[in-house]
Structure 1
Amino acid sequence: MSNIWKTKPLGAYEADMKKSELKRVLGKWSLTAIGIGAIIGGGIFVLTGTGAYYHAGPALALSFVVAGIACIFAALCYAEFAALLPVEGSAYAYAYGTVGEVFAWLIGWGLVLEYAMGSMTVAVSWSGYFNKFLKIINVELPYYLTNDFATAKQYAVAHGLTEPNFAFNLPAFIIVLIVTSILVKGTKEAAGANNMIVILKTSVVVFVIVVGALFINMDNLTPFIPDEKMILQSDGKMGAAYGFNGIIAGAAAVFFAYIGFDAVSTQAAEAKNPRKDIPFAIITSLLVCTALYILMSLVLTGMMSYKDFGSVPDALTAPVAVAFEKATGMNWAVILITVAATIGLISVLLVMMLGQSRIFLGMAKDGLLPKMFKEIHPVRKTPYKNTILLGLIVATVAALTPISTLVHMCSFGTLFAFTMVCFAVWLLRVKKPELKRGFKTPMLPVVASLGILINIYLIINLEPSAIYMAIGWLALGLLIYFLYGRRNSVLNKGGYDEFIEK
C-alpha cells in the first residue's frame, strides 16, 4: 500500500519529453488562442442569463470577478508547474511528480469531470444555439430529436404535447463526431480551425460590449446588488438569491465560464517552447477573458433587467441574443450573435476534447490506463484510438443527459483539480526548492492558500446533488485504480527506477 504514495521521478518526465512522438507545432499565440477558445463559449453565451436571474442580479459582474480571482490563483500555480514539467497530462502529471500516485490518479479521474463532461455540456449548449439558428431560417427539428428524454418530457408537458417515448439530442451527437474527426486528423489542423473561430467569436463579444453599451438603461442596474430573497431556483427548489450570498452563489454557478484555461497546459508536449510559452498563454488568456466577461455581464444586465431573464422566452438559454434583440431591435445583430455563438462553441468543444485525450495519453504512458490510450497514429501523430473512444462516449452521453446535471459535475471536477494544483506546487517548492523553474509563482504561500480556500468555498456552494454525484465518481475512480491502475503502474513495476536519485 505504501507504493500508492510514490512519486514519479522528475527525470522520467525529461525522458518522456525527449521520446515523445507528438509534433511540436504550437507557438505562444496559438497556445493563447487555445486558452481563449476554451474559455469563451457556453459560459458567457448561456450562463449570464441564469447567473443574473437566479443568483446575483446586476452584481453578476462581481460574481465574474470572484470566479476570475479564484482562477488567477490557480493559473499562477499552473504556470509554475507547466514551466517545470512541460508534458501532457496537466494537473495529473503535476501531482504524480509531487504528491503521489493515488493523488495523481484521483486528479486525473477528476479531470474527466472537467473535460469530458465539459465537452458534453458544450455539445448540448451548441445544440441549443444551433436550433435557434435553424428557427431563424424557418427550419424546426422535432423537439424529441433536439433534447434528452427528461428535457423533452418537460418540454412536452409545458407545451401541452404528447409525452415522447423516445428522445435523442441529434445535433449534439453529430457535432461531437465532427470535432472528433478533426482531432484525429491532426493537432496543427485543429489549432488552425480553432484560431479562426476564436477571432470570430472574440470579435462578436467585443461588438456586443461596444454597441450594447450604447443601449444601457441605468435603471436596470439599480440597485446594483438587490436585497437578498428566496426565489425558485432552476432545480425546482427554493434558494437564496441576490445580496452577498447571491454573488458567491453566482460565482459558483458561472465558474463553468472559466473552465478551459488549464487546457493550455495539456498541450505542453506539442508546444515549440513550452517552458516560456505555456505560462504566457495561461495567464494571458485568463486575463483577457476575465476583462471581457466583466464588461459583457455589465452590458447585458444594463440592456435588460435581470428580472426579465426568467420571463422572456429563450432569455435563459440564449441571453446575449435575446437582450440584444430587446434593447436594440437590430435583428441582423441577433442573427450575427447566434451564428457566432453556434460556431464559437465548436472551438470550446474542440479544446475540451483535445485536453481530455492528452490526459488519457499521459495516464496510459504511466500504465494507469490500458495501452490503447497511448497509441499514436503513425502518420497523423495523434492519439487516435483514445480520441475516437472519447468522442463516442461524449457524443452518446451528451445526447441523453440534461445540461444542468453536466454543468455542476464539471465545475466540481475543475475546482477539485485547481485545489490540488495549488497544494502540489506549494509542496514541491518545499520539498525541492533547488529545481530550476522557468516561471515562479509570486508570493506562493499566499497565492496557494487563497487558491485552496476559495476553490473549496466554491465547491461547497455547488448544488448538493452535484457534490454527491461527483464524490461517487471519485469513489468509482478509486475502485478502478485499485483493481487495475495500481497493478499495472509503470512506477510500481520499477519502470522508472533508473531515474530515482540515489
Structure 2
Amino acid sequence: MADKKGLKKTLNTLDIMLMGIGAIIGAGIFVLTGVAAANYAGPGIVLSFIISAIACVLVALIYSELASMVPVAGSTYTYTYAALGEIVAWVVGWDLILEYFFSVCMVSSGWSGYMVSILNSGGINIPQYLISSPETGGLVNLPAMFIPLLIGFLLIRGTKESATVNRIIVFVKLAVIFIFIILAAPKVNPANWTPFLPYGFQGVMAGAAIIFTAFLGFDAMSTTAEESNNPGRSLPVGIIGSLLICTVLYVAVSGLLTGLVPYDQLNVSDPVAYALSAVGYRLGSAIIAVGAIAGITTVLLVMMYGQTRIVFAMSRDGFLPDWVSKLHPKYGTPYMVTLVSACMAAIVAGLVPIQILAELVNIGTLFAFILSAIGVLVLRYKLPDLPRPFRAPAIHIVAPLAVIMCAILMLMLPQATWIRFLLWFCFGLIIYFGYGYRHSRLSMEKAVELVSKK
C-alpha cells in the first residue's frame, strides 16, 4: 500500500527477475517460434533469438532509466512530451496503443490454437472454418474472439494479479518448458536442422524482427523502480538476468522444435504442442497446451490492461474525448475504453492471421523503443539534474546502438507491414489534428513539472 511519500520498497532482485520471467514468457515462445521458423529463419531461429535478445538488453537499460524517474500518471508519452514536444508525444501514445492492441489480438490467436489443441485431445473437434481466419481458408477464428471479451469483462470487474499468483504462473510456465525439453530431446532428428539457414542470414534478421515481441515484458519490470529496495542494482540485474534466462530457454526450445519436425511444418498457432503430437506424445502435447493456456492468459490480461490504461491516460489529458476515460460507477475501472477495446480486439483476432498481427506488434514496439532511446538522451541534456535512481551506463553508446539495432529490425519487416503501419499513423494524425490538438490539457510546462517532481 502506498503512503503519502510513495510505495514501500519491498522488491529485491529475485522478485524483479521472477516478475520479468513471468511477463516475458508467453505467446512468444509458445506461438511465434513456429511462425518465425517456418516463414523466415528455419532452424536459424536460434540465432534470431540471440540477436533480438541483444537489442532488448540495450533497450531495457534505457527503459529502466526512464522508469526509475518517479512514476507519473500519463504513461511513457509524458516523458516524451517533456523531451520532444506534444506532436511526438501523441505519436508515442498512438504507437503504444498499436503495440498493445495488436498484442492482444495476436495473443488471442495463439490462445485459440492451444485451446483447440486441448479440445481435440478431449475428442471435441470444432469445424476448421470456425477456428481459422478468412485469409487462411476459414470463416472466423471463434475461440480467438471469445478470450478478449472474457478478459475485458474481468478487467472491468477490477481483476488484479498478486505476487503469489505471479510466482505460481512462473512455476507453471517453466515446468511446461522443462517438460517439453525432457520429452523432445530424445526425439530430435538432426537431419531436420539441414539446411540450417534456408532463407540465408537475411532470413535470420527477418526472424529476429518477428520474434522480437517474444521478449516484451521487461518494460513492465522497469515500472517497479519505486518499489525496489535498491533500484540502482536490482533493476539492471533483474531485467538483464531475466532476459538472459529467457534467451537460454528460447534458444533451447526453438532448437528442439526445429529438430523434432521440419521447420516448414511449424506455421501453426500451437507449434510446441503440435511438434510433440507429431512425434507421438499426445498426452505431453495436452500438458504443454494447458500450461501454454495458463501463461498466455496472464500475458493477455497484462497487455489489455496496459492498452486500456494508455488510452485512459491520453483521454484524461485531453488527447481523446472525455467519454473514453469514463469510470464504472461500481468498480472504478475505465469500463468504456475496456469494453470498446475488447470488442474491437475480438473482431480483429477473429479475422486477421497471426503472422500479420505479429508483424504489426513488432514494428510498433520497435518504433516506440527508438523514440524512447532518443528521449532518454534528450532528457540527459534537458533535465540533467532530474533524480535518476538508475542511470543507463555509457548512454552515448547504448542509446545510439539501441536506435540502430531497432531500426535494422524494423527494416527487415515486410513492405506490407510498413504500409499498414503508416496507414495507422495517418489515421492517428487525423484524430490528433481533428481533436487532440485543440483539446489537449497537457502543456509543455506541466509535462516537465510531472517528470521533474520528486
- Give the aligned partner of residue 52 of structure 2: 67
Deviation (angstroms), 1:56: 2.4
- Give the aligned partner of residue 156 of structure 2: 184
* Per-residue deviation, residues 21-55 of structure 1 (Å, max 9, x unmatched): xx999956776555434422222112222322333
- Give the aligned partner of residue 77 of structure 1: 62
Q: Describe the shift of the 1:88–1:321 C-alpha distance in structure 2 as closer, same or farther (beyond 3 A).
A: farther
Task: Verify: 1:433 aligned to 2:433, yes or no.
Answer: no
CA distance in 1, matches of 2:9, 2:338: 19
Taking only the aligned residue pairs, the percentage that are identical comes to: 40
User: Which of 29, 37, 48 is matched with 1:52 structurally?
Assistant: 37
CA contact (8 A) 2:55 2:405 kept: yes
RMSD between superposed Cα atoms in Å = 3.2
Equivalence map 1:260-339=2 (5 Å): 260-265=217-222, 272-273=227-228, 276=231, 282-304=239-261, 308-311=262-265, 316-327=268-279, 329-339=280-290
CA distance in 1, matches of 2:416, 2:162: 36
What secondary structure is seen at the aligned counterpart in 2 of 1:438? coil
User: Which of 154, 172, 177 is matched with 1:205 structurally?
Assistant: 177
CA contact (8 A) 1:309 1:319 kept: no
Deviation (angstroms), 1:278: 6.3
CA distance in 2, matches of 1:492, 1:434: 21
Task: Verify: 1:102 aligned to 2:63, yes or no.
Answer: no
CA distance in 1, matches of 2:77, 2:343: 23
CA distance in 2, matches of 1:323, 1:497: 52
CA distance in 2, matches of 1:389, 1:275: 40
- Give the aligned partner of residue 303 of structure 2: 352
Task: Verify: 1:463 aligned to 2:414, yes or no.
Answer: yes
Deviation (angstroms), 1:264: 4.1
User: Which of 375, 395, 398 is matched with 1:424 structurally?
Assistant: 375
Deviation (angstroms), 1:407: 1.5
Normalising by structure 2, report the TM-score. 0.87
Q: Describe the shift of the 1:495–1:338 C-alpha distance in structure 2 as closer, same or farther (beyond 3 A).
A: closer
Q: 5+ unaligned residues in a row in structure 1: which ranges?
A: 1-16, 156-166, 229-240
CA contact (8 A) 1:82 1:279 kept: no
What secondary structure is seen at the aligned counterpart in 2 of 1:140? coil
Equivalence map 1:339-488=2 (5 Å): 339-377=290-328, 380-488=331-439
CA contact (8 A) 1:30 1:195 kept: no
Task: Verify: 1:257 aligned to 2:214, yes or no.
Answer: yes
CA distance in 1, matches of 2:39, 2:425: 29
* Per-residue deviation, residues 425-478 of structure 1 (Å, max 9, x unmatched): 111112222222010101111111111011111111101001111011111111
What secondary structure is seen at the aligned counterpart in 2 of 1:439? coil
Deviation (angstroms), 1:404: 2.4
CA distance in 2, matches of 1:210, 1:326: 16
CA distance in 2, matches of 1:472, 1:413: 12
Normalising by structure 1, report the TM-score. 0.80
CA distance in 2, matches of 1:258, 1:371: 34
Q: Describe the shift of the 1:88–1:126 C-alpha distance in structure 2 as closer, same or farther (beyond 3 A).
A: farther
Structure 1 counterpart of 2:172, which letter? L
- Give the aligned partner of residue 144 of structure 2: 172
Task: Verify: 1:129 aligned to 2:114, yes or no.
Answer: yes
Deviation (angstroms), 1:410: 1.2
Q: Describe the shift of the 1:493–1:85 C-alpha distance in structure 2 as closer, same or farther (beyond 3 A).
A: closer
User: Which of 195, 204, 207 is matched with 1:247 structurally?
Assistant: 204
Q: Higher mean Cα deviation, 454-463 or 333-342?
A: 333-342
Q: Describe the shift of the 1:451–1:471 C-alpha distance in structure 2 as closer, same or farther (beyond 3 A).
A: same
Deviation (angstroms), 1:296: 1.6
Equivalence map 1:13-24=2 (5 Å): none
Q: 5+ unaligned residues in a row in structure 2: which ranges?
A: none
What secondary structure is seen at the aligned counterpart in 2 of 1:188? coil
Deviation (angstroms), 1:106: 0.3
What secondary structure is seen at the aligned counterpart in 2 of 1:97? helix
CA distance in 2, matches of 1:64, 1:497: 37
Q: Describe the shift of the 1:337–1:108 C-alpha distance in structure 2 as closer, same or farther (beyond 3 A).
A: same
CA distance in 1, matches of 2:73, 2:173: 27
What secondary structure is seen at the aligned counterpart in 1 of 2:84? coil
Q: Describe the shift of the 1:499–1:337 C-alpha distance in structure 2 as closer, same or farther (beyond 3 A).
A: closer
- Give the aligned partner of residue 162 of structure 1: none
Q: Describe the shift of the 1:285–1:488 C-alpha distance in structure 2 as closer, same or farther (beyond 3 A).
A: farther
Q: Higher mean Cα deviation, 433-442 or 275-284?
A: 275-284
Q: Describe the shift of the 1:392–1:30 C-alpha distance in structure 2 as closer, same or farther (beyond 3 A).
A: farther
CA contact (8 A) 1:124 1:172 kept: yes
CA distance in 1, matches of 2:229, 2:426: 34
CA distance in 2, matches of 1:324, 1:417: 36
Deviation (angstroms), 1:136: 1.0
CA distance in 1, matches of 2:5, 2:340: 25
Deviation (angstroms), 1:99: 1.3
Structure 2 counterpart of 1:453, which letter? I
Task: Verify: 1:87 aligned to 2:72, yes or no.
Answer: yes
Q: Describe the shift of the 1:284–1:498 C-alpha distance in structure 2 as closer, same or farther (beyond 3 A).
A: closer
Structure 2 counterpart of 1:391, which letter? A
